[in-house]
Amino acid sequence: MSLSVDTMRTIDHRVGVPLCALFSPIVALLDWMTLLIKGPAGAPRRLLFIELSEMGSAIIVDPAMRDAQARGAEIFFLIFKSNRASLTLLNTVPAENIFTIDASSVLTLLRDTIKFLFQARARNIDTVIDLELFSRFTALLTGLCGARKRVGYHIFHGEGLWRGTMLTHKVHYNPHLHIAKNFLSLIHAAFATTIEQPYSKIHISDSAIRIAQATIDPTVKQTVLGRIEALASQAQLPFQHRLQPLFLVNPNASELLVQRRWAPESFSKLIVALVQQWPDCLILITGSPAEHTYVDNVRLGANVPNALNFAGQVSFPELPALYTLADVMLTNDSGPGHFSSVTGLHTVVLFGPETPALYGSLGKSIPITAQLACSPCVSAANHRKTPCSDNACMRAITVEQVMQKMIVQFTASRT
């Protein structure tokens, strides 16, 4: 079992702050000596992205990675081992250029951290882009991996979130700009030929953050379709693809922020409403193998034959194939909303503690948010940790609201 999110936050603060204080003068001295000996650093040639904990961000950063490639850089990526699969949906980063850290225990975390620091130097990484929002751990990885250019977000005159002097290119994090555009601002800083204070003084258009589409293997698509048909047959449900509506419902959200979950009973009521609207539809309630029980509670709550427990029925690389088979997906604000953006799947995404203005899917998505006065309550300033134990922002979203958007998306998917 991996370290809990709160444990990692505690380690990041209690251990990360003193380590940043310890290593900052050493890193600064090494930077000064290198500048004297080698002169200014050139344009990035071997560029490493660091994003450890968010699988969805591995998709949202894809426009930035492709921009770096277009500028001539070979790209690398560092991610937690448990999240590595998210980089396989588009395969923008070559498999041999992906570094991983096993966060299943403090021991493996320490072991793989030391291993990475040697690997980065062996691969001659010259530029690092820290995508994390003010993590001391990734700041230390950035500062100690031997890269001459080190780009990331800096707090400037804000209080707290201190990370030492690990960065050479300090970028202003804009909390009013979609995170995909914030990521592109890091690329601008990495390739800038003049010093800016702060980086990055550029306009980023919406067209710059379009997500590339996954290549779907027809054999994989047929395999997934066969699995759906077999499950429907076991449930004695007739199903003819494209002749009957196929909906995906993702009721869970990661442990990073459980407050993002719409109530299971709301999902159950929504499933009943879908069947009332489309009596011949098939509904697949999705999730990981570990979420099988959670998904089954939603299915039992709906108590309609059209809804099937599909948790664990597809592997991560098979997700794009599944998404191309469906008409519409309903999901909490979590990974699937971003994973589906690599296909043409129409989605409805429910937001509460976070805002679609910053983290909205870049696919064919309609966000729903109650826009309460307290929401969004998580941000970079609080390490995306909320004191809320009563997610009224999610409970305020009604089944009727969601059904209206599901109808809109289904109509769009069939035109």
Question: Which stretches of 4-136 are assigned E, i.e. beta strand?
Answer: 46-50, 74-80, 98-101, 127-130
| Final residue before a domain boundary, out of 190, 209, 228 | 209
Give the pLDDT confidence of 17-48 residue by residue, as tens digits. 999 999 999 999 999 999 999 999 999 999 99
Closest CA to 387 of 3, 2, 6, 52: 6
| pLDDT at position 310 | 97
| pLDDT at position 258 | 84
Closest CA to 150 of 164, 160, 161: 164
Question: Do 147 and 85 fall within a single domain?
Answer: yes
Q: What is the residue whose two structure tokens read 């850089």?
A: 73
Give the pLDDT confidence of 294-320 residue by residue, as tens digits. 999 999 999 999 999 999 999 999 999
* CA–CA distance, 242 with 360 (Å, rounded to integer): 28
| Final residue before a domain boundary, out of 171, 188, 209 | 209
* CA–CA distance, 357 with 369 (Å, rounded to integer): 11
* CA–CA distance, 364 with 87 (Å, rounded to integer): 20
| pLDDT at position 2 | 63
| Residue 333 one-letter amino acid | D
| pLDDT at position 259 | 87
Specify the number of domains making up the chain.
2
* CA–CA distance, 303 with 91 (Å, rounded to integer): 40
Question: Do 256 and 378 fall within a single domain?
Answer: yes
Closest CA to 332 of 251, 223, 257: 251
Question: Do 186 and 234 fall within a single domain?
Answer: no
Give the pLDDT confidence of 80-100 residue by residue, as tens digits. 999 999 999 999 999 999 999
* CA–CA distance, 283 with 248 (Å, rounded to integer): 6
Question: Do 186 and 256 fall within a single domain?
Answer: no
Alpha helices in 192-247 (DSSP H): 218-234
User: How far is CA 72 from each of CA 31, 58, 375, 409, rounded to the nearest angstrom?
Assistant: 24, 20, 41, 39
* CA–CA distance, 2 with 21 (Å, rounded to integer): 28
Give the pLDDT confidence of 258-308 residue by residue, as tens digits. 888 999 999 999 999 999 999 999 999 999 999 999 999 999 999 999 999
Q: How many CA atoms lie within 13 A of 39 on its CB side?
A: 2
Chain centre distance of CA 273: 30
Q: What is the mean pLDDT of the chain?
A: 94
| pLDDT at position 386 | 86
Tokens representing 79? 């991610």
| Residue 113 one-letter amino acid | T
Question: Which stretches of 270-338 are assigned E, i.e. beta strand?
Answer: 282-285, 307-309, 328-332
Cβ neighbours of 269 (radius 10 Å): 18
Cβ neighbours of 45 (radius 10 Å): 12
Tokens representing 84? 């590595």
Question: Which stretches of 81-202 are assigned E, i.e. beta strand?
Answer: 98-101, 127-130, 149-154, 169-172
Question: Do 271 and 379 fall within a single domain?
Answer: yes
Question: Do 10 and 37 fall within a single domain?
Answer: yes
| Residue 62 one-letter amino acid | D
For the chain, what percentages of helix, strand and coil (3-state, to nearest 5) are there?
Answer: 45, 15, 40
Give the pLDDT confidence of 369-414 residue by residue, as tens digits. 999 999 999 888 787 788 888 999 999 999 999 999 999 999 999 9
Q: What residues make up the domain containing 251?
A: 218-413
pLDDT of residue 190 exceeding 90, the answer is yes
Closest CA to 179 of 346, 53, 349, 362: 362
| Residue 50 one-letter amino acid | I
CB 147 within 8 A of CB 128: yes
Binning pLDDT at 50, 70 and 90, where does residue 153 land?
very high
pLDDT of residue 213 exceeding 90, the answer is yes
Q: How many CA atoms lie within 13 A of 66 on its CB side?
A: 16
Question: Do 56 and 198 fall within a single domain?
Answer: yes
pTM assigned to the model: 0.93
pLDDT of residue 135 exceeding 80, the answer is yes
* CA–CA distance, 197 with 313 (Å, rounded to integer): 50
- Any idea how long the chain is? 415
Question: Do 143 and 230 fall within a single domain?
Answer: no
* CA–CA distance, 399 with 273 (Å, rounded to integer): 8
For the domain that residue 304 is a member of, what is the CATH number?
A: 3.40.50.2000
Question: Do 144 and 57 fall within a single domain?
Answer: yes
pLDDT of residue 231 exceeding 60, the answer is yes
pLDDT of residue 1 exceeding 60, the answer is no
CB 57 within 8 A of CB 358: no
| Final residue before a domain boundary, out of 173, 189, 209 | 209
Q: What is the residue whose two structure tokens read 């950035």?
A: 142
Is the Cα dihedral 379, 383, 384, 387 positive or negative? negative
Tokens representing 399? 């089944």
Tokens representing 173? 């994090």
CB 378 within 8 A of CB 354: yes
| Residue 153 one-letter amino acid | Y
Question: Do 92 and 43 fall within a single domain?
Answer: yes
| pLDDT at position 268 | 97
Question: Do 143 and 77 fall within a single domain?
Answer: yes
| pLDDT at position 36 | 94
Question: Do 151 and 184 fall within a single domain?
Answer: yes
* CA–CA distance, 62 with 17 (Å, rounded to integer): 30
| Lowest model confidence (mean pLDDT) among 136-140, 174-178, 250-254 | 250-254
Chain centre distance of CA 311: 20
